Amino acid sequence: MSCETLGIDHLGLTVADLEASLGFFTGALGWERIGGNPDYPSAYVTDGHAKITLWQQRAPGGGFDRHANVGLHHTALKVADEATLNAVFDRVGGWPGVEVEFAPELSGGGPKVHFMIREPGGTRLEVSYDPR
């Protein structure tokens, strides 16, 4: 049987604060807004490679627990080299509303290096560099 899918078209994330998440993706990460829907509050962003749709959470107070909820554990973005990884961490680590889970470190025994944060809308985001 041959595979008929062609990869991920986009990833949809429910966020607690749409404007804070949009500001993070466009401001801290430099992504571009490419659309959205005001009737079903959302914003669509891209880095020129990946597309993410951000959707405003409707019921307040429902935080995300990667151990308890079925579905998204985290979203992982890749960068070209370790210097870029460190520059991105320096920029996003102090961004308003960002919670740093851990700073750049080896993933397992390496050689991959990564860090993990929660962006201001509450979703867990990994950024990594893999030299392999």
Helix (H, G, I), strand (E, B) or coil at 7: coil
**What DSSP string runs through 14-83?**
EES-HHHHHHIIIIIS--EEEEEETTTTEEEEE-SS-EEEEEE-SSTT----TTTSSS-S-EEEE-SSHH
pTM summary value: 0.88
Domains of the chain: 11-59+73-129 (3.10.180.10)
pLDDT at 3: 82
Over the stretch 59-78, which tens digit does the pLDDT of each residue have? 766 666 666 666 788 999 99
Q: Any idea how long the chain is? A: 132
pLDDT at 72: 80
Residues of the chain under the 70 pLDDT cut: 60-70
CA dihedral (76, 77, 82, 88) in degrees, to 10, reads -110
Neighbours of 114 (CB within 10 A): 22
Write phi, then psi, for 31 (nearest 5 degrees). Answer: -75, 165
The one-letter amino acid at 53: T
pLDDT at 70: 60
pLDDT at 59: 76
Strand partners, 127: 77, 115
